Amino acid sequence: MSVDTQEKQSVLEVMKDRHSVRKFEKGVEIPEDVMDEMLNATIEAPSSWNLQHWKFLVIQNQEQKEKLLPIAFNQQQIVDSSATIVILGDTEANLHAEEIYGQAVELGFMEDAVKEALVSQINGAYEREGFALSEAIKNSSLAAMQLMLAAKAKDYDTVAMGGFNPVALVEEFNIPTRYVPTMLISVGKAAVEAHGTARFPLERVVVKESF
């Protein structure tokens, strides 16, 4: 079996082995270099126009966890896990376009005229009502899933949470108005082994060609 095949199988195994955990070992610290490795894998996620519509608020300090706890409706994993990462979607990601495509021009990957057309197209799209919010949530969610898989690959467990007060979150942690909270992800070591959950069979969820 080739190395490439083995690596592809290991990715599928990570996906299969990842399950949500709500009981974490207390006092487990994730080394900074490991956290950075997971986050570096996270930012490899795809995004519309490569605008990278995300920001990550990493909460590891116990005092900060205690502030987050009531905002997350007292879910115990907030204070027991090693860290909770607030996934934020950037509603002004179009402002990245000039920099991103300007670099492409400098590197010779793109003509300046093409860059100008793309930037204009992006800014035009962002003028449509509701577009910026939809893009922020959609693309930051791609990064969120990538983070959970990266954590599992480094032998850490996760749980994604949509149960929190977004207004209180923004106020307590001084989140700039351009960012919208998408979800919370707690990361750490499972105190109780995660159990699998049932999934619908493919014939229940897959439609080929057309309904």
φ, ψ for residue 159 (rounded to 5)? -145, 135
The DSSP string of 132-168 is HHHHHHHHHHHHHHHHHHHHHHTT-EEEEE--S-HHH
Is residue 26 a part of any domain in this protein? yes
CATH of the domain at 100: 3.40.109.10
Which residue range(s) make up the domain with 153?
Answer: 19-188
**Which residues have C-beta within 8 Å of that of residue 180, sequence separation ≥ 6?**
88, 89, 91, 133, 136, 137, 166
Over residues 155-209, the pLDDT tens digits come to: 999 999 999 999 999 999 999 999 999 999 999 999 998 877 899 999 999 999 9
- Cα–Cα distance between 125 and 19 in angstroms, integer? 37
Is residue 200 a part of any domain in this protein? no
CA atoms within 13 A on the CB side of 67: 13
Is residue 204 a part of any domain in this protein? no
The pTM of the full predicted model, rounded to 2 decimals, is: 0.93
Cross-strand pairs, 59: 84
Over residues 134-145, the pLDDT tens digits come to: 999 999 999 999
Count up the domains in the chain and report the number: 1
Over residues 83-100, the pLDDT tens digits come to: 999 999 999 999 999 999
Query: In this predicted structure, what is the pLDDT of residue 194?
Result: 81
Measure Cα distances from 193 to 19, 21, 158, 174 in Å: 9, 8, 12, 35
